[in-house]
Amino acid sequence: MTYDLVIKNGTVLDPKTKLYGKKDIGIASGKIRSIENSISDNHAIDIIEAKDKLVLPGLVDLHVHVWWGVAHLAVEADPFCLERGVTTAIDAGSSGANTIAGFERYVISKAKTRILAFLHISGMGQLDNDIGELEDIRWARIEKAIEASTLHSDSIVGIKVRLSHDIVGKNDIEAFERALAVAKEINKPLMIHIGGTYNTLEQILPKMRSGDIITHSFTQRPHGILDNNNKIIDIALDAYKRNVIFDVGHGAGSFSFPVAEACLEQNIVPGTISSDIHKYNARGPVFDLLTTLSKYLYLGLSLNDVISKASYIPAEAINMDSNIGTIQIGSDADIAIVEHLKDGKFNFHDAEDNVRLGEELLVPEITLRKGERFNPKHKIHEKLIS
């Protein structure tokens, strides 16, 4: 067989299939056609030499904001996700029932990145930085959200609600209840954003179902999952034990090294690692998903673990694990070729400007989306270099 493209001599790591080792990958018509110890150059129209590089499944970022030009915080998906190793980006509530049709037509259908969405329970989505989208609870209309989720079911993977006081005022419990009602009706997960809520989590976490998602799980803002003694609160531990997903959702204000470290000491490990990339953090402290994964390498997770939490596990969370987040014959050729730097000094900042000095950094080299090649405009941001 003649392949359109062969990736040669890379170290393939696919946590889902437990594939790890030097392999060649043959790609034709946008699909992975062969995974072998060696594929002859004579069978390749084009070759990517990946010696000393990691060859990973195209990464799945469970929390991004890419409703560019409409949502106040959004960035363009292709340069900030696809060119940096993320082939599937899940927008976390930038659009609501009033704006999802435009998001599909003008962004989802146009981008090279595979974009999916958690629909915001607020019909407006996230339009403005100064006026919270649920200060007026009338924006949270159950029937409108159900209707939009039905009409746009190919794009919508769940429901999102942000519960911070500056976004929802004192309406956090009511907004949560309405969002949960929609998620139950459409039989898809609910993602809640915590940190800075008016009420405690006592009326929220016990109602979350297995497979629902807490994003910003390791936030320093009140009310979080730790008490004043840095012990995980009982309702959070109960949620964790019944398989509510604790997602990182780093963002500009929602990830704390001290909180993450205290949780790891208590064996509370994130279920998924996402970036929450948006225009207010793309030049720091987030930069991209690979940098967020590198922070968890610093915190002691293995390479296999961090890639798992940004590939097939988030794919499972949105019920798409048979299609994305893995390197298998017959699947789309969505692949991230990554350099794994191991002996550097890298400045990792959290959202509170706590700094940790890491030695390992995952850096985008080449990303393939259905076999089409994308290169990053830059590899390492200068702020990361010590």
Q: What is the pLDDT of residues 181-190, one digit of tens each?
A: 999 999 999 9
* CA-based nearest residue to 324, from 15, 27, 5, 58: 58
Domain 57-317: homologous superfamily in CATH? Metal-dependent hydrolases (3.20.20.140)
Q: How far is residue 366's CA from residue 379's CA, in Å, rounded to a whole number?
A: 10
Residues 315, 318, 319, CA angle at the centre, nearest 5°? 80
Q: How confident is the model at residue 228 (pLDDT cuts 50, 70, 90)?
A: very high
Tens digits of per-residue pLDDT, 66-124?
999 999 999 999 999 999 999 999 999 999 999 999 999 999 999 999 999 999 999 99
Measured over the CA atoms of residue 101, residue 109, residue 378 and residue 275, the dihedral's sign is: positive
Whether pLDDT at 278 is above 80: yes
CATH superfamily to which 5-56+328-340+360-384 belongs = Urease, subunit C, domain 1 (2.30.40.10)
> Cα(259)–Cα(266) distance, rounded to whole angstroms?
11
Domain extent listing, the chain? 5-56+328-340+360-384, 57-317
Cα(61)–Cα(334) distance, integer angstroms: 13
Q: 57-317: same fold as 5-56+328-340+360-384?
A: no
CA distance linking residue 214 with residue 244, whole number of Å = 7
**Closest to 286 in 3D by CA, of 295, 277, 298:** 277
Confidence tier at 386 by pLDDT (50, 70, 90): confident
**Mean pLDDT rounded to a whole number for the chain:** 97
Report the alpha-carbon distance of residue 5 to residue 256 in Å, rounded: 42
Residue 323 has pLDDT above 80, yes or no: no
- The residue type of 332 is D
Q: Are 40 and 50 spatial neighbours (Cβ–Cβ below 8 Å)? A: no
Asked if 50 and 337 touch (Cβ cutoff 8 Å), the reply is yes
Across the range 150-177, mean pLDDT stands at 98
Which residue has 């090294």 as its token pair?
257
CA atoms of 293 and 275, how far apart (whole Å) = 9
Phi then psi for residue 355, to 5 deg, are -120, 135
